[in-house]
């Protein structure tokens, strides 16, 4: 039942290849017919050869030649259609899984390592695609063998009963092997996820690891995980080898017993030599039916396991997706409001019922100690997380009613540690706007004070900047992120410590750029450097998840002692 349900779910990835599936099926049927006929004809050649009937032998050999050529042609088209079906299904599964991973809630991503998603997107999707081809292949073999069983039934009932018995025994022995392998494979995949996730962390944090002189510690951890994984793989291989030895020994015993049975039947004249030759030819294919059934069962188990791991991400409550409304607004004004919003992270209260309004084209800054909830406000506004209670509105509309494009397409966030992709500068900017013109790109970089640096590069805007922007300084990365945001031209721009890694000179330039944007965009700024937000229209001072005070810089200096103390401490530095 589980297998049929998974097949039903997977069928949509094959629906676009119905014509090729039909052709593939026709090739299979013809191949099965040929597989049943050929042993009969081969037996004739031995009879003609022993009776010295050369003309009949020649004609039979020519017939076999043409049949084999026909089988080769069938095999070619069978493989071509198989590869097309594999490619298309594999592509569609990976695209669909990738699309759904992008829809996962941030909470889900936080709870799982990157290895969980990498392994399922690469390894499990590959195994599902492999199963489509493998199932067809094994089913063809099994159907062919069933045809041979039918032929043997009409040739000799005693041999037929014996072959049925030996096949059943081999099937159960192989089923035992599959059961053990399936249990071990589940553990192996979990360990593989841990290794993949840890390697990803190691590569991304390589520079920090070196600076911390922590290579030995990381190598110990990596060695432990890899050793653990390979021990598990060895355990699987050892079990598989032991079971294969048992299966092969059983096959050898049953082959011996078959020859003894044939000798006995020949001795009692209950079987002719020609029929015995046909049965011997058939038996070479029949001893594989149990293995084909076992391997089919093995692939079904793998398929069910891979399907579960993939469809868990696609459909299950274990991996919840972001939810958006259906209301679409092409361009928002930029007003928004938080009404008694509460939010907890890992059962720790971060926001404790905050209320504030921001008008369109207003510049508002958020200040406070680390953990006060500043970044959380940005994440909630962008719907990266859902509030536990309360209401957030944009242009007076509850954001739960707005669709993804309305929210994400009208808000840009520039974080304190922006991720820069391993692409050229131009490609990084085009990620947020496909039809970006060169003039728009150059203007955005000019406003972000990055144009002079780019012009100094040999390949200028076509320069590849490395994974995570490793070829850029911290300040250059943030300026590129700012340029990327300016390219989007959204109505609401959020600066989350966006100037923290900049030197004073560049920071002043960025401040000037932000000043140029004022009155045209709704701008929210999080800053530890209070000197960078003194010109904001309003400043909200957060303390332990609540808004302790709000006003202009001058107003807060007068009425908020904590703010005044933070500012004076910074001035003294």
Whether 478 shows a pLDDT value over 80: the answer reads: no
Q: Give the Cα-Cα-Cα angle 494, 497, 498 (nearest 5 degrees).
A: 70
For residue 513, the model assigns a pLDDT of: 65
For residue 135, the model assigns a pLDDT of: 64
For residue 62, the model assigns a pLDDT of: 87
Whether 287 shows a pLDDT value over 70: the answer reads: no
Mean pLDDT of all residues belonging to the chain: 77
Q: Give the contacts of 148 (CB within 8 A, at least 6 positions apart).
A: 35, 36, 39, 282, 285, 286
Which single residue is written with the structure tokens 């012009």?
A: 455
Is residue 192 within 8 A of residue 311, CB to CB? The reply is: no
Q: Which CATH superfamily is domain 336-572 in?
A: P-loop containing nucleotide triphosphate hydrolases (3.40.50.300)
Distances in whole angstroms, Cα of residue 567 to Cα of each of 167, 416, 496, 562: 84, 21, 19, 9
Beta strands in 283-370 (DSSP E): 336-345, 348-358, 363-367
**pLDDT band at residue 6 using 50, 70 and 90 as cut-offs:** low
For residue 178, the model assigns a pLDDT of: 73
Whether 122 shows a pLDDT value over 60: the answer reads: yes
For residue 288, the model assigns a pLDDT of: 61
**CA–CA distance, 531 with 419 (Å, rounded to integer):** 26
For residue 490, the model assigns a pLDDT of: 77
Whether 504 shows a pLDDT value over 70: the answer reads: no
Tokens, residue 532: 């960078």
Higher pLDDT residue, 43 or 233?
233
Q: What is the mean pLDDT of residues 64-70?
A: 85
Nearest by Cα to 294 from 231, 248, 339, 336: 248
Q: Give the Cα-Cα-Cα angle 161, 162, 163 (nearest 5 degrees).
A: 90
Nearest by Cα to 355 from 386, 307, 392, 383: 392
Higher pLDDT residue, 438 or 202?
438
Whether 325 shows a pLDDT value over 70: the answer reads: yes
Q: What is the mean pLDDT of residues 450-478?
A: 77
**pLDDT band at residue 226 using 50, 70 and 90 as cut-offs:** confident
Whether 500 shows a pLDDT value over 70: the answer reads: no
**In angstroms, how far is CA 250 from the centroid of its own chain?**
41
For residue 14, the model assigns a pLDDT of: 66
Q: What is the mean pLDDT of residues 146-153?
A: 72
**pLDDT band at residue 419 using 50, 70 and 90 as cut-offs:** confident
Nearest by Cα to 449 from 493, 494, 514, 497: 514
**pLDDT band at residue 140 using 50, 70 and 90 as cut-offs:** low
Full-prediction pTM beyond 0.85?
Answer: no
Distances in whole angstroms, Cα of residue 430 to Cα of each of 422, 440, 455, 478: 13, 11, 18, 17
Whether 567 shows a pLDDT value over 80: the answer reads: no
Is residue 426 within 8 A of residue 441, CB to CB? The reply is: yes
Q: Give the contacts of 500 (CB within 8 A, at least 6 positions apart).
A: 416, 478, 527, 528, 529
Higher pLDDT residue, 261 or 287?
261
Q: Among the CATH numbers 3.40.190.10, 1.10.1760.20, 1.20.1560.10, 1.10.10.10, which is that of 2-315? A: 1.20.1560.10
For residue 381, the model assigns a pLDDT of: 86
Question: Which of 79-93, 376-390, 509-523, 554-568 is predicted least confidently?
Answer: 509-523
**CA–CA distance, 232 with 236 (Å, rounded to integer):** 6
For the chain, the structural domain boundaries read: 2-315, 336-572
* Each residue's pLDDT tens digit, 356-375: 888 888 888 888 777 778 88
For residue 153, the model assigns a pLDDT of: 76
């Amino acid at each position: 039942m589980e297998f049929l349900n998974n097949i039903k779910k997977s069928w949509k990835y094959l629906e676009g290849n119905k014509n090729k599936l039909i052709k593939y099926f026709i090739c299979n049927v013809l191949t099965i017919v040929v597989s049943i006929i050929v042993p009969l004809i081969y037996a004739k050649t031995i009879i003609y050869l022993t009776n010295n009937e050369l003309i009949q032998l020649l004609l039979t050999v020519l017939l076999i030649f043409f049949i084999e050529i026909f089988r080769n042609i069938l095999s070619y088209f069978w493989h071509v259609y198989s590869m097309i079906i594999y490619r298309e299904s594999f592509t569609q599964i990976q695209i669909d899984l990738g699309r759904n991973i992008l829809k996962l809630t941030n909470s889900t991503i936080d709870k799982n390592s990157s290895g969980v998603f990498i392994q399922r997107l690469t390894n499990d999707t590959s195994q599902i695609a492999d199963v489509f081809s493998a199932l067809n292949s094994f089913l063809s073999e099994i159907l062919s063998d069933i045809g041979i069983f039918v032929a043997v039934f009409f040739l000799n009932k005693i041999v037929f009963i014996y072959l049925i018995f030996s096949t059943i025994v081999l099937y159960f022995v192989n089923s035992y092997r599959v059961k053990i392998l399936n249990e071990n494979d589940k553990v192996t995949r979990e360990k593989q996820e841990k290794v993949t996730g840890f390697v990803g962390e190691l590569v991304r944090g390589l520079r920090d690891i070196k600076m911390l002189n922590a290579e030995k510690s990381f190598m110990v951890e990596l060695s432990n995980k890899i050793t653990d994984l390979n021990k598990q793989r060895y355990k699987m291989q050892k079990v598989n080898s032991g079971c294969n030895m048992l299966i092969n020994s059983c096959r050898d015993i049953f082959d011996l017993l078959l020859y003894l049975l044939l000798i006995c039947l020949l001795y009692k004249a209950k079987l002719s030599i020609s029929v015995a030759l046909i049965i011997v030819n058939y038996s070479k294919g029949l001893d594989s039916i149990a293995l084909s059934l076992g391997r089919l069962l093995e692939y079904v188990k793998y398929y069910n396991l891979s399907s579960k791991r993939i469809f868990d991400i696609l459909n299950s409550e274990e991996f919840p997706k972001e939810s958006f409304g259906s209301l679409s607004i092409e361009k928002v004004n930029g007003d928004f409001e938080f009404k008694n919003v509460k939010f907890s992270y890992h059962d720790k209260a971060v926001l404790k019922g905050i209320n504030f309004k921001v008008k369109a084209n207003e510049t508002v800054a958020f200040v406070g100690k680390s953990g006060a909830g500043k970044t959380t406000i940005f994440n909630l506004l962008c719907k990266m997380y859902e509030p536990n209670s309360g209401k957030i509105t944009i242009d007076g509309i509850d954001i739960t009613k707005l669709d993804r494009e309305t929210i994400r397409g009208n808000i840009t966030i520039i974080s304190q540690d922006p991720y820069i992709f391993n692409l050229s500068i131009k490609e990084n900017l085009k990620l947020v706007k496909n039809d970006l013109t060169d003039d728009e790109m150059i203007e955005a970089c000019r406003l972000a004070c990055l144009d002079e640096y780019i012009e100094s590069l040999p390949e200028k805007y076509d320069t590849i900047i490395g994974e995570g922007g490793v070829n850029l300084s911290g300040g250059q990365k943030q300026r590129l992120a700012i340029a990327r945001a300016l390219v989007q031209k959204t109505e609401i721009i959020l600066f989350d410590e966006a100037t923290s890694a900049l030197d004073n000179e560049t920071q002043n330039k960025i401040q000037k750029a932000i000043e140029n944007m004022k009155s045209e965009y709704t701008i929210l700024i999080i800053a530890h450097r209070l000197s960078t937000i003194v010109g904001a229209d309003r400043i909200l001072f957060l303390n332990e998840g609540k808004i302790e005070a709000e006003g202009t810089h001058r107003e807060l200096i007068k009425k908020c002692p904590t703010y005044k103390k933070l500012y004076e401490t910074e001035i003294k530095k």
